[in-house]
Structure 1
Amino acid sequence: MAEIGLLLKAALPSLPVVGQLPGVRKAPLEGFTGLTRERPPVTVERDHVDAYAAVCGFPAKDTVPLPYPHMLAFPLHMAIMTDAAFPAPAIGTVHLENSITGHRPIGIGEELAVSASVGAPLPHPKGTVFEFVTTVRAADEVVWESTSTYLRRGRGDASASAGSSFPDARPTGTVWRLPADLGRQYAAVSGDHNPIHLYPLTAKALGFPRQIAHGMWSKARCIAALENRLPDAVRVDVAFKKPILLPGKVELGSSPVEGGYAFALTNPSSGAPHLAGRTTAL
């Protein structure tokens, strides 16, 4: 029931007429300076970590997969996006890029403090972007950070940056077959029940031919494939390109670059890009 309530809160501001009602209407873009949310200290639980690892292709270990703390931050992102003071509806806001910095491995059973904040909007050629910065601390030590860049389409600024670029990554011949229920599997562990990821009918209602994979699943799956080559302190940056339709196939690309690896996911039939990124040793 809580999930349904959150989805309604995320979707209602996008609806004609309803979106202008008091309590639903979003604040204007002009004058928005930012919001911050924190959660009470949370203990990393093995069962949840293992469930996440299984969906994303990581082995079960005594430390968490590098992208896992995003699971702890996602409720804060949604709390900010569904706040009336945040000037864009959550539904229809597109995750463009994500950068994760792991300063050291995080162990099962550690107690973590998680905070997330977003600042003033930034121009983009296709609209406006918002950068959500997450910080995870163990006691007074910053152990993990991320920046998630979200786009709200609209009137853009042709002179603004269109985002990051990455080195080419050679196809490896590794093709992953993704099941139709992958979005539902990832939603069960992540809490991200955006309708575009769940069923053909719910995805079609929002303009997609059928359900699509979560961007953060695609990043996690790439990191899982590279994990045994990455150092304990590492940054992983990605840009999300074309949606991955489910069921479907994707091909992994990977090439060594200075300080790390370039990687990519493409459609094995057409070569269309789904994700591009790189790792950087710290």
Structure 2
Amino acid sequence: MADRQLNSSPALGPLLLRGALRSPFKRPAPGAGFPRTRLLLPGLRIDLARLAAYERVCGFPTGEPDLPVTYPHVLGFPLAMRLMSRRDFPLPLLGLVHTSLSIERAAALRADGEYDLSVWIEGLTAHRRGTEATVATALRRDGGLVWSSRSTYLARHGTAPGRPDGDRHAASPRTPDDGTGGADGDPVMPVVAEWAIGADVGRRYGAASGDRNPIHLHPLTARLFGFPRAVAHGMWTVARCLAAHGTPDAAEVRARFRAPVPLPGTVAYGADGDGRFALRGPDGGLHLSGEVRPLPVRNFLAQNQS
């Protein structure tokens, strides 16, 4: 894999437009080629005003000395879009679905710190509904890895019978099969809070994160892509849950995005005493399931020296 160093974070708007224009010409397949470049952005410092806007819209306390556990994803997203909007990335950006997220954090990350950011595409895999790409992000401080994530993105297309079901990313491997689950098979968590989500959440999160995908901004632009209403960003839903749940300084987070949250809307946030959480709609339909676990720092560092 070749490394390419950037001087600044790329602007998201032109990348999203370029990816959209190239989408009709893409030919997704698990065996297709993909960019073998790792993008590096050294000496990254946090824009504290933008961070505060992100904290407000996601429900994190503002002005804290440490970054929310999900915020490095926002920092890496423009680099991911640079790779995913390239001509040699085989999945169409339009219609691409964020299906899962895993994060490992070695310790609390200072908001006033300086970091080296890297993003690359790990590979493509077959899914029963199409092809999934795995995008990896890493944050280093003083040469040591302090935060890493993997996101999977699904491009739906026709597949041959017998494809894998794609459930290797299940957020909660300890989920019991004891008959207590909902219709979706996941256990129904005790409801901790109900949240009324405003129609402007997509626009507010888009302004704070830079991700101004039209399906999140307004009903009119969402309808152009087959959605009757705007839907919340998946990364907003997991950040909002983690703001309520809390995360140890050294932690592992896993989440699966099950169904979009229409805007405006009402959702129920549930959690148990075992680190698991979920977000459901008024009809009980599952939007998101996830889990937070403490992560021994020594183990994290030993496993992530590359």
Q: Same fold (TM over 0.5)?
A: yes
- Contact 2:34–2:89 at 8 Å: present in 1 too? no
* Aligned residue number for residue 220 of structure 1: 239
Describe the SS at the equivalent of 2:81.
Answer: helix
What amino acid maps onto 1:184 in structure 2?
Answer: R
Q: Aligned pair in 2 of structure 1 residues 217, 104: CA closer, same or farther (>3 Å)?
A: same
Q: 2:164 aligns with which of 153, 160, 168?
A: 160
Match of 1:189 in 2: 208
State yes or no: 1:262 paired with 2:276. yes
Question: Which of 63, 67, 71 is the matching residue for 2:70?
Answer: 67
- Separation (CA, whole Å) in 2 of partners of 1:106 and 1:119: 25
Aligned 8 A contact 1:126 1:153 in 2: yes
Question: What is the DSSP-based 3-state SS (H/G/I as helix, E as strand, rest coil) of the residue aligned with 1:10?
Answer: helix
**Equivalent position of 1:9 in the other structure:** 18
Determine whether 1:43 maps to 2:45.
Answer: yes
Mark the CA change 1:67 to 1:147 in structure 2 (over 3 Å): closer, same or farther: same
Partner residue, 2:268: 251
State the percentage of identical aligned residues.
Answer: 38
Change (3 A) 1:144 1:240: same
CA distance in 1, matches of 2:225, 2:163: 29
Matched, 1:198 2:217: yes
Report the Cα distance in structure 2 between the residues aligned to 1:213 and 1:5, rounded to whole angstroms: 22
Task: Identify the range of structure 1 (115-124 vs 6-15) with the bigger mean alpha-carbon deviation.
Answer: 6-15
> 1:30 and 1:65 mapped to 2: Cα distance?
36
Deviation at 1:3, TM superposition (A): 5.2
Q: How many angstroms apart in 2 are the aligned matches of 1:150 and 1:265?
A: 20
- What is the one-letter code of the residue matched to 2:33? F
Distance 1:248 1:31 in 2: 39
State yes or no: 1:127 paired with 2:140: no
Name the structure 2 match of 1:22.
none
**What amino acid does structure 1 have at the position aligned with 2:208?**
V
Partner of 2:90: 87
> Which shifted more, 207-216 or 160-169?
160-169
C-alpha contact 1:26 1:84 (8 A) present in aligned 2: no
2:95–2:155 contact (8 Å) kept in structure 1: yes
Distance 1:169 1:98 in 2: 21
User: Does residue 1:57 correspond to 2:59, yes or no?
Assistant: yes
Task: Kindly indicate whether residue 266 of structure 2 is the aligned counterpart of residue 279 of structure 1.
Answer: no
- The alpha-carbon deviation at position 173 of structure 1 amounts to 4.5
Instruction: Give how far 1:155 is off.
Output: 2.6
How far did 1:256 drift? 1.8
Q: TM-score, normalised by structure 1?
A: 0.89
CA deviation after TM superposition for structure 1 residue 34, in Å: 3.9
Relative to the length of structure 2, the TM-score reads 0.82
Number of aligned residue pairs: give it. 267
Q: CA deviation at 1:198?
A: 0.6
Partner Cα distance (1:210, 1:249) in 2: 14
> Pairwise CA RMSD of aligned residues?
1.8
